Amino acid sequence: MTTPQTPPHKLTCHCGAVELSVKLADGFNTARRCDCSFCRRRGAIAVSVNLGDLQVVRGADQLSLYTWGTHTAKHYFCSVCGIYTHHQRRSNPNEYGVNAGALEGINPRDLGDVPWAEGVNHPSDR
């Protein structure tokens, strides 16, 4: 993939209240969409970041947390503008998924055809 991926990436919400610094686990090779009841509504492309490779630079107090179902996954979003920034995964709690569209300098269109993850039939439900 030709998308630039010089780490670390700056990730911002829309209003700028929240800023994260992230190092992608495997560039954009991990980019996924998901069809679970939550992600299908959110509609974002997520990329993987290892748990230790995400820092909240600004706005930790502006982040809201949403959990549902088994309450294992932790979905964070900006409480001011509502933009999803990152979530701690249920399928792998040692990983975050981060909003590819919120990475500075990245146009999600350049990611091409992004594969779909098993959301409706979640691996943890089998």
Binding site for Zn ion (CB under 5 A): 13, 15, 17, 78, 80-81
- The nearer residue to Zn ion, 88 or 99, going by C-beta atoms, is 99
Provide the 10 A C-beta neighbour count for residue 1.
11
| CB of residue 63 to Zn ion, shortest distance in Å | 9
| CB of residue 38 to Zn ion, shortest distance in Å | 19
| CB of residue 81 to Zn ion, shortest distance in Å | 3
Provide the 10 A C-beta neighbour count for residue 27.
14
Which amino acid is present at 118?
A: E
3-state SS of 98-121 is: EEHHHECCCCHHHHCCCCEECCCC
- The nearer residue to Zn ion, 84 or 96, going by C-beta atoms, is 84
- The nearer residue to Zn ion, 14 or 37, going by C-beta atoms, is 14
